[in-house]
Amino acid sequence: MTYELLKLAHIIGVVLIGSGLIGVWLSDLRSRQSRELVRFSESVCNIAVFYDGVVVPGAIVLLISGTWLIVEFFGGWNFISIPWLAGMVFLFVFEFIEGNTVTRIYFMRLRRLTQEALQVGEFTPELEKARAENVPAFTHFLDLPMLLLIITLGALKPDTWEVFVAGSLVAIALAVALTLFIPRLYPWTAK
C-alpha cells in the first residue's frame, strides 16, 4: 500500500508542477503581448501566483515522494545504475536548482521592477531592459520541455541513456527556438 500511496503523491506532484508551469508559461506570454503597464503588471503577478502557489508545492511533493520511493523501493543510491530513474533525478535536480536561481530570481526582479514602474506610471528603461534578457527567457522556455522529458523517462522506463540524451538535446533545441521565436512574435515595445 505504501508504494501505491507514494506513486499517487508523485502523480499529484507532477500534475501540480505541470499545471503551474503551464500557468507561468501562459502568464508570461500574456505579459509579452501586453503594451499597457497595468495589464503587464497583472500578468507578472500571475506568474508569481502560479510559481509560488502551484509549481513550488508540486516540486516539494515530488521531492518528498520521489526520495521516499527511491530509498524504499529502488535501493537508495543504487538508482544511479537505472538510466531512466537516474535521468529523472538528474533533470529534477537541475530544474529545481535552475528554477530557484535563474528563473525565480528573474521573475522576482521583474515583479519588483514592475512595481517601481507602476509608481512612476510608465515602463522604465530598467524594466524594458530586464524584459529583453535572453538567459532567463531560455531557462523559462526550457522548463516545460524538461518536464515532458522527465515524464517520458518515467513512462517509458528505457534501460539505456539514449532517450535521456536525445530528449535533452530536443528540449534544449526547443528552448533555443522559443527563445529566438517568441520575442520576435511579440516584439517588446511598451506604450
pLDDT in tens, the chain (191 residues): 899 999 999 999 999 999 999 999 999 999 988 889 999 999 999 999 999 999 999 999 999 999 999 999 999 999 999 999 999 999 999 999 998 889 889 999 999 999 999 999 999 999 999 988 889 989 999 999 999 999 999 999 999 999 999 999 999 999 999 999 988 887 765 44
Q: What are the extents of the domains in the chain?
A: 2-185
Query: How many residues would you count in the chain?
Result: 191
Query: What angle is formed at CA 187 by the lines to CA 184 and CA 188, rounded to 5 degrees?
Result: 140
Q: Give the integer Cα–Cα distance in Å for 184 and 167.
A: 26
Q: Give the integer Cα–Cα distance in Å for 39 and 190.
A: 12
pTM listed for this prediction: 0.90
Q: Give the integer Cα–Cα distance in Å for 87 and 164.
A: 6
Query: Is 102:136 a contact under the CB 8 Å cutoff?
Result: yes
